[in-house]
Amino acid sequence: MSVWWGVPAAVAVVGVEARSVEPPPRPVPTDGPNQVVIYVPAMTCASCPEKVAAALARVTGVRADSIQADRRTRQVKFTVADRATFNVAKVREAIAAAGYRRTDLLTGPTER
């Protein structure tokens, strides 16, 4: 006799938490050349934007004075100081080290 419990029951039996992963939103508009927009879904608390901005300010190639992190959109926008030294992997590592593991590159660096 075979029994099919369905996915929710099977997930409960195995002890795995089921989560839906929402797609990244549309990026906030860029307003100059060499801009990057990154989606940080876990950037939801009042202090989160400051934590992400502080982490990005230490990354080579990111203009610290251009960092704009918005908790409402959960996006951070910044300008790349030098495209030759910019490394998106380093940006993701810095954000992850601040406690935000998932990031999605939405835009950048822009050409215009």
Tell me, what CATH number does 33's domain have? 3.30.70.100
- Residue 52's pLDDT is 98
Number of domains the chain contains: 1
Residue range 22-33: average pLDDT? Answer: 86
- Residue 23's pLDDT is 78
Is residue 12 in some structural domain? Answer: no
3-state SS assignment for residue 31: coil
Say whether pLDDT at 12 is over 90.
no
How far is the C-alpha of 62 from the C-alpha of 77, rounded, in Å?
Answer: 10
Q: Is the pTM of this model over 0.85?
A: no
**89 φ, ψ to 5°?**
-65, -40
Residue range 10-37: average pLDDT? Answer: 73
Is residue 78 in some structural domain? Answer: yes
Is residue 33 in some structural domain? Answer: yes
The residue range of the domain holding 60 is: 23-107
Is residue 18 in some structural domain? Answer: no
Compute CA 18 distance to the chain's CA centroid, rounded to the nearest angstrom: 21
Which of 41, 34, 32, 23 lies closest to 95, judged by CA? Answer: 41
Residue range 22-47: average pLDDT? Answer: 91
Query: What is the percentage of the chain residues whose pLDDT exceeds 70?
Result: 79
